[in-house]
């Protein structure tokens, strides 16, 4: 890799940290205080040496980086662009690991072998994957694009794209429809309880309106009572909700339980 290209990659890495870590306040801070950046920078040089057959020099460089950063990346590992290793301490990335672009790795992650395989014995991690703190992904398995491995998970089997895997042994707890972007929105989170409350409120209002109209038709309410007066469309109840102009498509709503 040429010098200019290396600098461009380093700039990309800094931008990735700024985008993905809410704690990062400036480029200077990122440059000085993020060991993951330093480890990746050293890895690029070590990987080039490794590819050229200078194995000992490559290993020596990688071990020096490990002493400085706590992150051990074997020089044989192939690592994509904009990879972010947060905190970093205790991260181990094995020789035949392949990591895609836009991957986020937290401290204590092992991308290692099971000890049973030869040749390609480490995982292949797709683009946009997040691997939580302390997770172990072992063996020549594949983690599909945009999947998330929960903190502390132990993953021994292939993970399809767009899945969330947690626990030991790792199990899929979620599969979402594909989305090309890294999920960074930590403000506009979906609120299923609020959605359900709003849906219930809509149905309740509708039932109140129906009840008020039926009550008025049957003469249960004296004229001027709030339920009859306040009900929209009062006085023109067709007596059959299927032909009512105010009726909501209740049958299309999700079941409540
Ligand atoms: C897995 C993770 C990425 C969340 O992914 P998600 O797709 O948004 O999944 P959810 O949060 O909806 O969780 C789905 C289910 O898995 C469970 N779960 C989430 N993370 C888990 C974990 N690490 N271990 C065990 N179960 C976990 C949730 O409780 C939930 O269970 P439920 O459906 O019974 O309620 C996240 O919980 C995680 O572990 N991130 C790692 C972050 C990290 O390492 N930070 C370190 C910063 S220093």
What does the pLDDT read at residue 202? 84
Ligand 1 pocket: which of 21, 163, 173, 192 to mutate (most atoms within 8 A of CB): 173
Give the model confidence (pLDDT) of 13-36 as tens digits: 999 999 999 999 999 999 999 999
How many angstroms separate the alpha carbon of residue 61 from the centre of ligand 1?
35
- Alpha carbons 223 and 238: distance in angstroms, whole number: 19
- Identify any residues that bridge with 172 across adjacent strands, giving them in sequence order: 165
Which tokens sit at 10? Answer: 């380093």
Task: Note the pTM of the prediction, 2 decimals.
Answer: 0.72
Encode burial over 156-193: b for 16+ CB neighbours within 10 A, e otherwise.
eeebebbbbbbeeebeeeeeeeeeeebeeeeeeeeeee
* Position in ligand 1 atom list of the atom nearest CA 132: 44
How many angstroms separate the alpha carbon of residue 23 from the centre of ligand 1?
20
- Alpha carbons 143 and 154: distance in angstroms, whole number: 12
* pLDDT tens digit at each of 257 positions of the chain: 777 888 889 999 999 999 999 999 999 999 999 999 999 999 999 999 999 999 999 999 999 999 999 999 999 999 999 999 999 999 999 999 999 999 999 999 999 999 998 999 999 999 999 999 999 999 999 999 999 999 999 999 999 999 999 999 999 999 987 655 666 665 666 677 787 888 888 888 888 888 887 777 776 654 444 444 445 444 555 556 666 666 656 544 444 43
What does the pLDDT read at residue 226? 46
How many angstroms separate the alpha carbon of residue 104 from the centre of ligand 1?
15
Q: Atom 20, ligand 1: which residue's CA is nearest?
A: 150
* Position in ligand 1 atom list of the atom nearest CA 134: 44
What does the pLDDT read at residue 177? 74
- Alpha carbons 4 and 9: distance in angstroms, whole number: 9
The phi, psi pair for 53, rounded to 5°, reads 95, 5
């Amino acid at each position: 890799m040429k010098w200019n290209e290396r600098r461009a990659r380093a700039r990309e890495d800094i931008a990735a940290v700024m985008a993905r870590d809410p704690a990062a306040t400036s480029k200077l801070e990122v440059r000085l205080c993020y060991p993951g950046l330093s480890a990746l920078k050293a890895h690029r040089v070590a990987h080039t040496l490794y590819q050229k057959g200078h194995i000992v020099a490559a290993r020596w460089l990688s071990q020096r980086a490990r002493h400085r950063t706590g992150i051990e990346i074997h020089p044989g590992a192939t690592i994509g662009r904009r990879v972010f290793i947060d905190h970093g301490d205790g991260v181990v990335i094995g020789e035949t690991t392949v990591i895609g672009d836009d991957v986020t790795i937290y401290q204590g992650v092992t991308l290692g072998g099971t000890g049973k395989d030869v040749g390609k014995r480490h995982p292949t991690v797709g683009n946009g994957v997040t691997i939580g703190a302390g997770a172990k992904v072992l063996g020549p398995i594949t983690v599909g694009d945009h999947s998330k491995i929960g903190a502390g998970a132990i993953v021994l089997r292939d993970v399809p794209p767009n899945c969330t895997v947690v626990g030991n042994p790792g199990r899929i707890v979620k599969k979402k429809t594909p989305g090309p972007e890294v999920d960074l929105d930590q403000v506009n989170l979906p609120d299923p309880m609020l959605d359900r409350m709003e849906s219930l409120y809509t149905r309740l209002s509708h039932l109140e309106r129906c009840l008020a109209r039926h009550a008025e038709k049957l003469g249960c309410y004296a004229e001027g009572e709030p339920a009859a007066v306040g009900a929209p469309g009062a006085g023109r109840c067709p007596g059959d909700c299927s032909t009512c102009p105010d009726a909501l498509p209740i049958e299309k709503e999700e079941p409540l339980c």
